[in-house]
Amino acid sequence: MADLINVSYDTQIPNNVGLSSDKRVLKALEKWHPGYIDWWNDLIPEQFQLSDIYLRTAVSVDPKGWAKFDYVKMPDYRWGILLAPQVEDRKIPFGEHKGEPAWQEVPGEYRALLRRLIVIQADTEPASVEQQKFLGKTAPSMYDMRNLFQVNVEEGRHLWAMVYLLQKYFGADGREEAHELLRRSSGSEDAPRMLGAFNEATPDWLSFFMFTYFTDRDGKMQLEALAQSGFDPLSRTCRFMLTEEAHHMFVGETGVGRTIQRTCEAMNEAGITNPYDIDKIRALGVIDLPTIQKKMNLHYTLSLDLFGQEISTNAANAFNNGIKGRYMENRLEDDHQLQNDTYPVHSVVGDKIVSEDVPALTAINMRLRDDYVRDAAGGVGRWNKIIKKNGIDFALIIPHEGFHRQIGVFSKVSISPEGNIISQAEWDANVGNWLPNKADGDFIASLMVPCFEKGEYAGWIAPPKVGIDNKPGDFEYVKLYEA
């Protein structure tokens, strides 16, 4: 089948995978579609469903011009199935099949493993929309509301992308999984989402920004690793998703940055130099920097847990089998098979944290997490520049990898943000200074008042430097439906 750069709109589901001539898959997706729309409509408050939102829609997979901006009512959004163009003669880039032609069909022996990886990725996409469902009501501006809904519709599209793979390549099992993806729900008692961080609440906008910065970045790393896959349709799907993912992390980074900027401005206007003068700073209606640090500690550590166990035979198999590669696999200079290589992994021995060299194949998760930590540090450095530029003596610090962990070698001990193993009593005495406590949450919640005036912003956050799609500051990003 010829590869299409532009998206065809001749079926109900926009796509560049030739759906109109693939009757079986088209029918399966059309059957799944109403359940998806119900899920969406139950989730997003009606007022916003009826509003016109200035959104981008993917209309092509050409990197030079893939998106088009226009006003859309969200239920009318064209959730499409888009795969990056096929690379001619693509070879499997790693593992025991390295150098063999990439698979266009699922290899029988890896079917269960592939299905599981696709389902886990798929499960995160609707989960984040569920976590963010109440935020529209307290948007600090129309600009931010628009960004929230942009992220939401694209996570919805990512679900479509994964469901397409399940329906096309996994037969009845795939259909069943696609159904389950709409049944599980974030935070549910009996059918929760598969990964911990996706069952946590996103109670306020600072959480949303931290989530899109830290947790969407886990998504980026996972997609990067799957984009290397020897299973070509998965690789192409993930490659296109990455183009959308970049905006989600932009929303997070600039959102946190604008929050910091406003706090520093307010402190300077009031002549407050001590960042720990928390009551006085909060009285200004902005979020003090130590609380921003706590929110960061929480979202960062929840995101580290998403990388799984440091040492994992599943991860080793996925790599060895050519299913899931490493970050930037093509830029790494080794044999891409790792049969004789080692990789350093931390573990807790007695009351010490030690580093051990283990077979590199088993440490694939650890390596991806290390890549993530480096990637995540960039934005934190830029946030600190904002603080410095405002002349305030404070720096955000990424906590130790062992702090507040539920998964992996550090989950059995208590570790301070500085990386010291501490007693339970010490943990209990200090946790309120390290992670957001009830009072912090209540204070942030008190600031979450909607600001729906065109070009205006809630008092706790600075306006963005540039508009979306280069629009001016007073652009009407959302034409709110008024009953």
Q: Footprint of Fe ion on this chain (CB under 5 A)? A: 125, 155, 158, 216, 245, 248
CB of 56: closest distance to Fe ion in angstroms? Answer: 14
CB of 249: closest distance to Fe ion in angstroms? Answer: 8
CB of 62: closest distance to Fe ion in angstroms? Answer: 21
Distances (CA, A) of 273 to 259, 262, 264, 276: 17, 14, 9, 9
Selection from 170, 162, 82 nearest residue 126 by Cα: 162
Rounded to an integer, what distance in angstroms lies between the CA atom of residue 92 and that of residue 209? Answer: 36
CB within 8 A of 440, min separation 6: which ones? 291, 294, 295
CB of 158: closest distance to Fe ion in angstroms? Answer: 4
Q: Is 358 helix (H, G, I), strand (E, B) or coil?
A: strand
Beta bridge partners of 205: none
Burial of 412 (0-12, 13-18, 19+ CB in 10 A): exposed
Rounded to an integer, what distance in angstroms lies between the CA atom of residue 206 and that of residue 260? Answer: 10
CB of 98: closest distance to Fe ion in angstroms? Answer: 28
Interaxial angle between packed helices 111-131 and 23-43, expressed in degrees from 0 to 180 and rounded to the nearest 10: 30
CB of 462: closest distance to Fe ion in angstroms? Answer: 23
Q: Is 247 helix (H, G, I), strand (E, B) or coil?
A: helix
Element of type H or E holding 179 = helix 171-183
Structure tokens at 125: 């996409």
Torsion angle, CA of 117/173/198/191, rounded to 10 degrees?
Answer: -150
Of 215 and 291, nearer to Fe ion (C-beta) is 215
Of 245 and 329, nearer to Fe ion (C-beta) is 245
Q: Is 108 helix (H, G, I), strand (E, B) or coil?
A: helix
Of 125 and 440, nearer to Fe ion (C-beta) is 125
Instruction: Please identify which residue in the block is written with the tokens 């406590």.
Output: 437
Rounded to an integer, what distance in angstroms lies between the CA atom of residue 28 and that of residue 449? Answer: 43
DSSP annotation of 198 reads: G
Rounded to an integer, what distance in angstroms lies between the CA atom of residue 154 and that of residue 455? Answer: 24
Of 267 and 368, nearer to Fe ion (C-beta) is 368
* Beta carbons within 10 angstroms of residue 21's beta carbon: 10
Of 217 and 367, nearer to Fe ion (C-beta) is 217
CB of 122: closest distance to Fe ion in angstroms? Answer: 10
Of 155 and 253, nearer to Fe ion (C-beta) is 155
Of 155 and 440, nearer to Fe ion (C-beta) is 155
Element of type H or E holding 90 = none
Rounded to an integer, what distance in angstroms lies between the CA atom of residue 44 and that of residue 268? Answer: 39
Rounded to an integer, what distance in angstroms lies between the CA atom of residue 122 and that of residue 101? Answer: 26
Of 125 and 310, nearer to Fe ion (C-beta) is 125
Q: Is 356 helix (H, G, I), strand (E, B) or coil?
A: strand
Of 155 and 224, nearer to Fe ion (C-beta) is 155
CB of 47: closest distance to Fe ion in angstroms? Answer: 24
CB of 219: closest distance to Fe ion in angstroms? Answer: 5
Of 243 and 317, nearer to Fe ion (C-beta) is 243
Of 216 and 288, nearer to Fe ion (C-beta) is 216
